[in-house]
């Protein structure tokens, strides 16, 4: 068996993005939303994780690790990711925590797919 160090790196072009969020919940939500779509090219690898900044124990930073076979493939993949990240952050901004967790006006009667749980 050949030694791993003798083989050239299949994905020599690498980039790590650290994207801070105000809360761990938002970082986790962004990860869940973005990880759904796999990379369309087999020439690019991507992985997600959350981590805590050095001054905290809360996992508020979304880390995205990219590896690609060429700089061009890396650039295309990261550009596409940044567009998706913009959509996710835009939705978070529009919904805002007060809207998501606030009182509901008018009730939810007739909402498709919603089941009322009687407790």
Residues 6+ apart with CB under 8 A from 66: 14, 15, 16, 17, 44, 45, 46, 74, 77, 78, 81
Most confident region among 3-12, 78-87, 103-112 by mean pLDDT: 78-87
**Could you read off the pLDDT of 66-78 as tens digits, one per residue?**
999 999 999 999 9
Sign of CA dihedral 105, 108, 114, 119: positive
Q: Among residues of the chain, what percentage have pLDDT more than 70?
A: 73
Please tell me the pTM assigned to this model: 0.73
CA 72 – CA 86 distance, rounded (Å): 21
CA 56 – CA 23 distance, rounded (Å): 11
Q: Among residues of the chain, what percentage have pLDDT more than 90?
A: 58
Structural domains of the chain ordered from first start: 9-84 (3.30.310.50)
The residue-averaged pLDDT of 53-74 equals: 95
Confidence check: pLDDT of 105 > 70: no
Report the interhelical angle of 71-101 vs 24-35 (nearest 10°): 130
Closest by Cα among 18, 21, 13, 32 to 76: 13
Enter the tokens of residue 72.
């061009």
């Amino acid at each position: 068996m050949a030694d791993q160090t003798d083989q050239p790196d299949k994905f020599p072009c690498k980039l790590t993005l650290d994207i801070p969020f105000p809360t761990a919940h938002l970082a986790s939500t962004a990860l869940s939303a973005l990880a759904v779509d796999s990379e369309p090219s087999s020439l690019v690898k991507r992985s997600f994780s959350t981590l805590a900044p050095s001054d905290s124990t809360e996992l508020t930073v979304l880390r995205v690790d990219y590896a690609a076979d060429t700089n061009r493939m890396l650039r295309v993949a990261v550009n596409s990711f940044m567009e998706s990240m913009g959509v996710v952050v835009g939705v978070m901004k529009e919904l805002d925590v007060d809207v998501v967790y606030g009182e509901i006006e008018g009730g939810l009667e007739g909402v498709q797919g919603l089941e009322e749980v009687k407790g």
